[in-house]
Amino acid sequence: MAIPDELPAALRDVGLRPLFAMTVTVPTVHAPGGPAGAERRIGDISGGDFRGERLSGTVLPGGTDWQTLRSDGAVLLDARVVLRTDDGASIAMSYTGIRHGPAEVMARLGRGEDIDPTTYYFRIAPVFATSAPRYEWLNRIVTIGVGHRLAHGPIYNIFEIL
């Protein structure tokens, strides 16, 4: 087994490059429930926007965020949205993720209170699909995002992993 000091330098660190910041509006949340420890919530995504150096535009209405509320207090995310760039390209974006923190912080988030994002963990792993020639590079990158939950919906900062 390789010892970290013996690994090539290229394998010791992960580089990141900003992709875009994205806000999502979630006006309605449905709570169909489910078995204990795996209850479901489904948020309707009515829109939003995204801004970055390489692409910017709007989040189209019609997306959804399927959430699983685990018994340990963590919330698992499974979202699907369509992005429309400022130059008219369509990009499918899906992401899974996790949000967790101390019970009192999570309760305050659940009530829609503004919480310091350093007091809880909120990470996503987006993937993209598009046929637009200008953005086809998105089909071949790995990305991560850091989130912050606001009363109207989340804001994310998305990074390409180099």
- Residue 55 resides in a domain: yes
34 CB neighbour count, 10 Å cutoff = 12
pLDDT along the chain (162 residues), means of 10: 75 92 95 90 97 98 96 95 98 98 91 92 98 98 96 94 96
Contact of 128 with 139, CB cutoff 8 Å: yes
| pLDDT for res 125 | 98
* Domains of the chain: total: 1
Q: What CATH number corresponds to the domain at position 98? A: 2.40.160.20
| pLDDT for res 81 | 98
- Residue 33 resides in a domain: yes
Tell me which residue range forms the domain holding 97: 14-161
- Residue 155 resides in a domain: yes
| pLDDT for res 143 | 98
The secondary structure element, H or E, covering residue 148 is: strand 143-150
- Residue 2 resides in a domain: no
Burial pattern 81-119, b for ≥16 Cβ within 10 A else e, equals bbbebeeebebebebebbbbbeeebbebbeeeeebeeee
| pLDDT for res 2 | 59
- Residue 135 resides in a domain: yes
| pLDDT for res 50 | 98
């999570």: which residue's tokens?
Answer: 106
| pLDDT for res 36 | 87
- Residue 7 resides in a domain: no
